[in-house]
Every structure is written in C-alpha cells, then in structure tokens.
Structure 1
Amino acid sequence: MNTKYIDLINQTFDFPQEEFHLEDNHLRFHDIDLNTLIETYGAPLKFTYLPQISNNINRAKHWFQKAMVKHNYQGNYQYCYCTKSSHFKHVLNEALKNDIHIETSSAFDINIIENLKEEGKLKNNAFVLCNGFKRAQYITNIARLINNGHLNCIPIIDNYEEIDLLSQEVNGKFNIGIRIASEEEPKFEFYTSRLGIGYKNIVPFYKNQIQNNEKVALKMLHFFINTGIHDNAYYWNELTKCLKVYTNLKKICPSLNSLNIGGGFPIKNSLAFDFDYEYIVDEIVNQIKLTCAEEGVDVPDIFTEFGSFTVGESGGAIYEVLYQKQQNDREKWNMINSSFITTLPDTWAINKRFIMLPINRWKDTYERVLLGGLTCDSDDYYNSEQHMNAIYLPKYHKDKPLYIGFFNVGAYQESIGGYGGLQHCLIPTPKHILIDKDAHGNITTQLFRAQQKSEDLLEILGYGKKPETQTKQNVNTELQLADQ
C-alpha cells in the first residue's frame, strides 16, 4: 500500500520539481539543505534566498525580449521593482544587480532611493516611478529628488491637484505619468479603482492641465488592475480599453512614449501551479503593437512593476509542530511554535495560499490535519480553505520532531505583519536568515536578525526604560504640533 507521505506527493503532483527535491528523507529547496538550516539556527525561522530574486527578474526580461524580437517591436522594455513588496536592503541590493528600475508608493521610499544612490547601488539614469496618493511629505521628497538631478524620477499623477503641488516645489520642467483608474472585476468589492483618473477623464485632464503647461511633460500612461495579469476575457478587455486611451492621447501628446502595464504576475502557490508566462507576455506585446498600428501611432516603451513576482519566491518560513490536539472525531490540530497571524498575515487576512511541505519524515505515514498558531485568537490557523486541498502531513509523534515549511512567502508578509514591532499576543518575530551563493556557487547563510526578545517588546511598550523628563519647552512644542 502507498501509505507514506512521499507516496501521497508522488501520486498527486509531478515531483520532484525545479526548486524542490528530496535527499536523505529531507526536503531541499533550490538545493538548500533545510534540515541543516534548522540544526544551525533552530525554528521558527524565516529565510530569504537572494539568488531567486535575480532569477525571476531575468526570466521576465527574457520573455519580453523574446516577444519583442518575434514581433519586431520597436520599443524598449524596462523592468521596475515596486518596493512595497519588500523594502529590505538585501532585497533591493540583489534586485539592483540586474539593471532594473524602481517604483515607489510613499514618502519614505524616496529616502531609501537617496540612500541607494549615495551608495552607488542605484544609477543616476534609473527610472524612479512614484505612485500612490501624494500628500505634503511625499511631494516634498519627490521634488527634492528631481531638484537634485534625478531627472528620470517620474511622478505618476493620481489626482487632479498633484501637478500644482509638484510645480510649487520642483525647480524647472519635470516629467509625469498618469494612472488610469481601471475598472475592477464585477465580483471585486469595488467595481472601480480608488487610484488614478477615470478612462473618460484622462484626455480632458491632459488638455486642461498639461497640454499648455510649459513646466510638465507627459511621458507615461500607467495601467494596473488589482487582480493582476491573467489570461481571461476581463484582463484583455481592460488592456484594450487602456490601449485605446493611450493611442488617443498619443495623437495629441507627442511627448507620450511609455506604457506602464503595472504588475500582477502570479507566483507559484502550489505544486500544481501552471501559468504560461511566456504566452501572456507574447500576447501583451502583440496586442500593443497591433493596436498602435491600427491607430497609426508609434509603439510605446513598455514598463512593468513586478513586486511579488520579483521577491515572493525567494522567501520561506519554517516551523516546528509542538503538539497535536484532538478536538473531536474529525479535527486534529497540529500546533506550530509561532503564529500565522503575525508571521504570514496574508493567510489570515485574505486566505492567501502558499506552498506548504514538511521538511522531514517524508517516508512516514500521513494523516489529515489542521494547523494552528500560538496566539489565543481563533483566526490563527491555516486550513484547507487556504490550502489547495486538504492538509496532509506525516503523522504526529511526540518523540519524532516534525518541521514544516511555507515557501514563496517573500512578498508583503514582513511589512503587513509589522516586522520588528509589536506582534499579536506578543509572539516574537522569528529569526531571519539570508541565503546566498558565493563566487564558486556554494550556498552561504548568515543571520540577518535574531528572534525578538522580551526586552525588545517591553521597550516598545514603555516598560523597558523610564521616559525622559520633559522640559517645559518640549511640552509646549508638542502642544503646538497637536493643535496643527
């Protein structure tokens, strides 16, 4: 009988796969010895496998280059990384090795850009695309970047007053883009996007605020839909509407030369994942060329903003199963030594699926289980609704430790979870390991951040040290700021 966990995987999926294989009854991920990682650093832990960031960037570049050659596309392709997916320095350093550009979403992003420029990591001619709803500090930081000579900083206009706000602080002429408020799928909570300017309003907006404005030049039209890039009627319909706006705008705006199709490439969330990236890219390039030819305008340079696709598949989390609770005849709860709410918040917030596999004991018999976190919150679990199918793991045995890994978790989880700060029920942030390859191709590891200690959390909460005595001047200043 096929009763072992490895039998279950072999009869359910094609296994091994490019990034997963088994060696000595232990799972390897991109040939990383996960068992040795656990023995060295313990669990729980999170890790980032840096080479996968470069790998995905260059995969996308290859797909677009191949499609442009095939269709004799006369424009260029520019790969942008949207920093909100992961702001960590090690992520940006790895991504920028590949001659890419950056997309920002808030004021402090610009401080990161300036830091990268000072260290020579970001080139002076790199594009910096500034998305998001822009208020005072963001406007000021964008203007400072442009005034200091970074002319390829392009604010993407999100609302009608941003051009005036930028004009007040930017010295001289500057380039801008416009974001389309695309219509989301009817099943989406909101039918239209809260971001950008409506399809029908873009040409009038250009004529009223930009066409005769000597200080600004429109360079880019930005298109993005929340559900991402997929081969379905909805996506192709929205792309067609976007291209119609682009060609109409191009006919009256000679400076317009770039189309930003945003991001939204899915990442692998199951061993059964199947997405034809190359076909999708080929069809996008083809549709842009055909539409521009029909309307008699030059094709644009194509920009993408891949965030999750860039960094998501580089991340992993490893936990130990501490105990099994038999709650009734059907429910077996395997309790992990951390929390899903705090370390993988997307599993709790949006029922996000990740690849989940045991690290060891693949040749043991298996059972159907639910996974529970350490917090006292009833929502701290991961079950078959998040998983593609029911969750099966090697049978729990109190004398045989079981470790489980979640893979492709590298995007958003730290920022949404409040990395380094307070966590629900004061569950500490796990240690974080950086994994790389040396010049000879050998795997190297280093501790990026140790697991939070009680002292770290107590200091945040005000217990760690006595507050400094305030002077009368400090109190008055704080009162004035509060009044403002």
Structure 2
Amino acid sequence: MNTKYSDLIDQTYYFPQEEFKLEDNELQFHDIDLMELVEKYGAPLKFTYLPKISQNINRAKSWFKEAIEKHDYKGNYNYCYCTKSSHFKHILNEALKNDIHIETSSAFDINIVQNLKSSGKLSKDAYVICNGFKRDQYITNIAELLNSGHKNCIPIIDNYEEIDLLSEKINDPYKIGIRIASEEEPKFEFYTSRLGIGYKNIVPFYNRKIKDNPKVELKMLHFFINTGIRDTAYYWNELNKCLKVYINLKKVCPSLDSLNIGGGFPIKNSLAFDYDYQYMVSEIINQIKLTCEESDVEVPHIFTEFGSFTVGESGGAIYEILYQKQQNDREKWNMINSSFITTLPDTWAISKKFVMLAVNRWNDEYERVLLGGLTCDSDDYYNSEQNTNAIYLPKYKKDKPLYIGFFNTGAYQETIGGFGGLQHCLIPQPKHILIDKDENGNLVTELFSEQQTSADLLNILGYSNEK
C-alpha cells in the first residue's frame, strides 16, 4: 500500500521537476539543500535565490526574440522590471545585470533610481517608466530626474491634470505615455480600472492637451489587464481594443511608436502549473503585427513590466511544525512556528496559493491537516493547495521534527508584510538569507537580516527611551 508522502507526490504530480528534486528523502530547491539551510540558520527563515531572477529575465527575452524573428516583426522589445514587486537592493542589483529598464509607481522609487544611477548600476540611457497617480513629491522627483538629463524617463499619464503639473517643473520638452483604463472582467466589483484614461477619451485628450503642446511628445500607449496575460477571450478582446486605440492615435500622432503591454505573466503556484509562455508571446506579437498591417500602420516597439515573473520564483520560506492540535474528529491543526499573516500576507489578504511541500521526512506516512499560524487571529491559516482542496504532510511526530517550505514567494510579501516594522501580534519577522552562485557555480549563502528581537519592536512602539 502506497502510504508514504513521497508516494502521494508521485501519484499526484510529475516529480521531480526542474527546480525540485529529492536527495536522501529530503527536498532540494534549485540544488539548494534546504535541510542544510535550516541546520545552519534555523527556522523560520525566508530566502532569496538570486540566480532565478536573471534566469527568468533571459527566458522572457528569448521568447520575445524568437517571436519577433518568427513573425518578421519590425519593432524592438524592452524588458522593464516593476520595482513595486520587490524594491530590495539585492533584487535590483541582480536584475540590472541583464540590460533591462525600470518601471516605477511612486515618489520614492525615483530616489532608488537616482541611487542606482550614482552607483553605476543603472545606465543613463535606460528607460524609466513612471506609472501611478502622481502628486507633489512624485511630480517633483520625476522632474528632477528629467532635468538632470535622463531623457528616457517617461511619465505615464494617469489623469487629465498630470501634464500641467509636470510641465510646471520640467525645464525642457519631454516624452510621455498614456495609460488606458482597461475594462475589468465581469466578476470584478467595478467595470473600469481606476488607473488611466478611458478608451474613448484618449484621442480627444491627445487633441486637446498634447497635439499642439510644444513641450510634450507622446511616445507610448500603456495597456495592462489586472488578471494578467492569459489565453482567454477576455484578454484577447481587451488587447484588440487597445490596438484599435493605438492605431487611431498613431494616425494623428506620428511620434507615438511604443506599446507597453504591462506585466501579468503568471508564476508557478502549484506542481501542476501549466502555462505556455512561448505561445502567448508569439500570439501577442502576431496579433499586434496583423492588426497594424490591416490598418497600414507601423508596428510599435514593445515594452513589458514584469514584476512577479521577475522575482516571484526566487523566494521561499521554511517553517517548523511546532505542535499538532486535534480540534475535532476530522480536523488536525499543524501549528507553524511563525505566522502566515505576517510572513506570507497574500495567503490571508487574497487567498493566494504558493507551492507548498514538506522539506524532510518524505519516507513517512502522510495525513491530511490544516496549517495554523501563531497569531491569535482566526484568519491566520492555510488550508488547501492550488489544485487540491486539502493539505497532506508527513504525519506529525513529536520526536521527529517536520519542516515545510513555501516556494515562489519572492514578490510583494516583504513589502506588504511591512519588512522591518511591526508584525501582527508582535510575531517577529524571520531571518532572511540570500543565496547566490560564485564564479565556479557553487552555492553561497549570506545572512541579509536577523530575526526581529523584542528590542526592535519595543523601539518602534516608543518604549526604548523609558527607564
């Protein structure tokens, strides 16, 4: 009878997979010995495997290169990294090794850009695409970047007032983009995105505010679908509407030469994950080319803003099962030594699922469980996997420690969780480890941040000066 955890995984998925394999019945992730990591640094811990960032950037570049060659597409492709996915220095340093550009979303992003430029990490010729709703400080910072000579800084206009606000502070003529306010899927609580300008209003807005404005040149149309780039009738319909706007705008605006299709590549959230990236890229390029040819319009240069795709699959978290609580006849709660709300907030906020696997004890029998965090909050739990309605793990045994890993957690979790700040119920933020490869291809680890202490939290709360 197949009752081992390893049997369950073999029966449910194709295993091993590209990034996962077993060595001595213990899990390895990108050849990282996870139990060795636990033995060296303890658990809970979070880690970032930096080489995966460069790998995904270059995968996307190769897909677009192949599609452009296949369809004899005359435009160029530009890969931008969406910094809001993870602003950390080690992330940007790794990403910028690959000749990419930057997309920003708020004022302080520009301070990061200035820092990267002064340190020689970001080229003066790199595109800086400035999205988001812009108010005083963001406007000021964009103007300072442009006034310092960074001509490839392109503010993406989000509302009707932004051109006037920018022009007051920018000295010389500058280039802009316009964001389309896409229509959301019917299941959304609202019909049209709050971001950008409506489809029907873009050409009139151009004629009214940009066409005869000597200070502003329209270069880019920006398009993004909240649900991401997926092979659905909804996505292709919205892309087609976007292309119609581009064509109508191009006919009255010769300077328009770029289409930004935003981000939205999904990342692996299950061992059963299946997505044909190459097909989607090829079809997007083909659709853009065909639509432009039908209207006798030059094809645009293509920009993307991949955030989660860039960094998501580089991250992971490891927890120890502290204790098992049998709450009724059917429900067993395995308590982790941390909190989902604080360390993986998307599991709580948007019910997001990550790849979750046992790290050790793969030869043991398995059982169905629920996972609970340490906070006194009923929402601090994880109860199912992406493609199943349950969680199965090696059976809890008090004298045999069990460790579990959550993988592909590298996007958004630190910033949403408030890295370095207060955590719900004052559960400390875990250690964070950086993993890289040296010049010989050997894995090297570095402690990026220690687990928070009571002194760290008391200081934030204002108790540090009390006697």
Give the alignment's TM-score, normalised by structure 1: 0.96
Are positions 1:412 and 2:389 aligned together? no
Which residues of structure 1 form unaligned runs of 5+?
468-484
Residue of structure 2 equivalent to 1:279? 279
Q: Specify the code of the residue in structure 2 equivalent to 1:373.
A: G
Q: Specify the code of the residue in structure 2 equivalent to 1:178.
A: I
Per the TM alignment, residue 384 of structure 1 is displaced from its structure 2 partner at its CA by 1.6
Per the TM alignment, residue 466 of structure 1 is displaced from its structure 2 partner at its CA by 4.9
Q: Specify the code of the residue in structure 2 equivalent to 1:132.
A: G
TM alignment of 1:56-135, pairs within 5 A: 56-135=56-135
Q: Secondary structure at the match of 1:73?
A: coil
Q: Secondary structure at the match of 2:181?
A: coil
Q: Is the 8 A contact 2:272 2:387 kept in 1?
A: no
Per the TM alignment, residue 277 of structure 1 is displaced from its structure 2 partner at its CA by 0.4
Q: Secondary structure at the match of 1:458?
A: helix
Hey, what's the Cα distance between the residues in 2 that align with 1:387 and 1:450?
34
Q: Is the 8 A contact 2:104 2:130 kept in 1?
A: yes
Hey, what's the Cα distance between the residues in 1 that align with 2:340 and 2:297?
51
Are positions 1:42 and 2:42 aligned together? yes
Residue of structure 1 equivalent to 2:250? 250
Per the TM alignment, residue 465 of structure 1 is displaced from its structure 2 partner at its CA by 1.7
TM alignment of 1:1-400, pairs within 5 A: 1-384=1-384, 388-400=388-400
Per the TM alignment, residue 387 of structure 1 is displaced from its structure 2 partner at its CA by 6.5
Q: Secondary structure at the match of 2:197?
A: coil
Instruction: Summarize deviations over 1:36-84 as a string: whole Å, max 9, x none.
Output: 0000000000000000000000000000000000000000000000000
Hey, what's the Cα distance between the residues in 1 that align with 2:133 and 2:386?
32
Per the TM alignment, residue 388 of structure 1 is displaced from its structure 2 partner at its CA by 3.6
Instruction: Summarize deviations over 1:239-276 as a string: whole Å, max 9, x none.
Output: 00000000000011000000000000000000000000
Q: Is the 8 A contact 2:269 2:386 kept in 1?
A: no
Hey, what's the Cα distance between the residues in 2 that align with 1:465 and 1:219?
54
Q: Specify the code of the residue in structure 2 equivalent to 1:160.
A: Y
Q: Is the 8 A contact 1:53 1:311 kept in 2?
A: yes
Hey, what's the Cα distance between the residues in 2 that align with 1:239 and 1:248?
14
Hey, what's the Cα distance between the residues in 2 that align with 1:296 and 1:387?
45
Q: Is the 8 A contact 2:50 2:314 kept in 1?
A: yes
Q: Specify the code of the residue in structure 2 equivalent to 1:106.
A: S
Q: Specify the code of the residue in structure 2 equivalent to 1:412.
A: Y
Per the TM alignment, residue 32 of structure 1 is displaced from its structure 2 partner at its CA by 0.4
Which residues of structure 2 form unaligned runs of 5+?
none
Per the TM alignment, residue 189 of structure 1 is displaced from its structure 2 partner at its CA by 2.0
Q: Is the 8 A contact 1:353 1:387 kept in 2?
A: no
Q: Specify the code of the residue in structure 2 equivalent to 1:410.
A: G
Q: Specify the code of the residue in structure 2 equivalent to 1:421.
A: G
Hey, what's the Cα distance between the residues in 2 that align with 1:167 and 1:15?
57
Instruction: Summarize deviations over 1:221-253 as a string: whole Å, max 9, x none.
Output: 000011000000000000000000000000110
Per the TM alignment, residue 190 of structure 1 is displaced from its structure 2 partner at its CA by 1.6
Q: Specify the code of the residue in structure 1 equivalent to 2:53.
A: I
Q: Is the 8 A contact 2:356 2:385 kept in 1?
A: no
Per the TM alignment, residue 191 of structure 1 is displaced from its structure 2 partner at its CA by 1.4
Q: Is the 8 A contact 1:353 1:388 kept in 2?
A: no
Number of residues paired by the alignment? 467
Q: Which segment drifts farther, 17-26 or 182-191?
A: 182-191
Q: Is the 8 A contact 1:127 1:153 kept in 2?
A: yes
Hey, what's the Cα distance between the residues in 2 that align with 1:123 and 1:85?
21
Residue of structure 1 equivalent to 2:459? 459
Give the alignment's TM-score, normalised by structure 2: 0.99
Q: Is the 8 A contact 2:28 2:34 kept in 1?
A: yes
Instruction: Summarize deviations over 1:174-222 as a string: whole Å, max 9, x none.
Output: 0000000000101112211000000000000000000000000000000
Identity of aligned residues (%): 80
Q: Is the 8 A contact 1:27 1:360 kept in 2?
A: yes
Q: Is the 8 A contact 2:177 2:219 kept in 1?
A: yes
Q: Is the 8 A contact 1:271 1:355 kept in 2?
A: yes
